[in-house]
Every structure is written in C-alpha cells, then in structure tokens.
Amino acid sequence: MASENGAVLKSIADMLANGLKTEVEPFPETDKEFAEILLQLRQLDPKDLESKLVIGGFLDHPYGPDRQRCLECMYYLVHRRWCDLPELSVPVDPDWWCRLWRI
C-alpha cells in the first residue's frame, strides 16, 4: 500500500513537473461553486488521475501570498501524506495545493 501510494505520488508529481495545465482559477468563493467542482470530480473515473488534477486545480507548490498548501488544509492526513477529500482521495505532498483547499 505504502509503495503503491509512493508510485501514485510520483506519477502525480511528474505530471505537474511536466507542466500539466490545471484549473487553478476560478477559485470557488462560495459553497455552491465548491459543490460544483465536487460534482465534476464525481463524474470522473476514480482512476483518472490527470482529470482529477486538472479539475482540482493542482499546483506542486504553495499558492498565493498566504502560501496556502496541503499541510494546513482540513483534508490533509499528515501521517499518510494523503488528501482525504473523497472526490480526490490521492497521495499528496504537504507543499502542494489545490483549489479545494479549506481550513
């Protein structure tokens, strides 16, 4: 399990490092906009990593002047290095970010 997560983490890191364009904006300002992104994610094949990254608006570095990142997000599981938002459910690096970031 741990090594499988490591392989998935690497594959996500590679896609982001290779310049995958993700939908960083618009940032969901309201619960309705947040729910609309979740709805789009729910329509994906759960194994479709690339689409999850694109729709989630992933970055492989902190975001904005506040340097938001997974580490401080309510969905981040520190010990598993995992995003626990059910619609994402992927291994993540603590210094990454996506537009579903919440505290």
Q: Which is nearer to ligand SF4, 1 or 74 (CB)?
A: 74
Provide the β-strand partners of residue 59.
97
Cα gap 91→83, rounded to integer Å: 6
Omega before 26 cis (within 30°)? yes
Write b or e for each residue in 30-40: b if 16 or more Cβ atoms lie within 10 A of its Cβ, otherwise e. eeeeeeebbeb
- Closest residue by Cα to residue 60 from 30, 22, 28, 3: 22
**Smallest gap from residue 53 Cβ to ligand SF4 (A):** 9
To ligand SF4, the closest distance from the beta carbon of 87 in angstroms equals: 9
100 binds ligand SF4 (CB under 6 A): yes
- Residues within window 43-82 making contact with ligand SF4, judged by CB under 6 A: 70, 73, 75-76
- Contact pick of 54, 83, 95, 103 for ligand SF4 (by CB under 6 A): 83
Is the Cβ of residue 22 or residue 75 nearer to ligand SF4 in the bound state?
75
Q: Using CB under 6 A, list all residues that contact ligand SF4.
A: 70, 73, 75-76, 83, 85, 88, 92, 96-98, 100-101
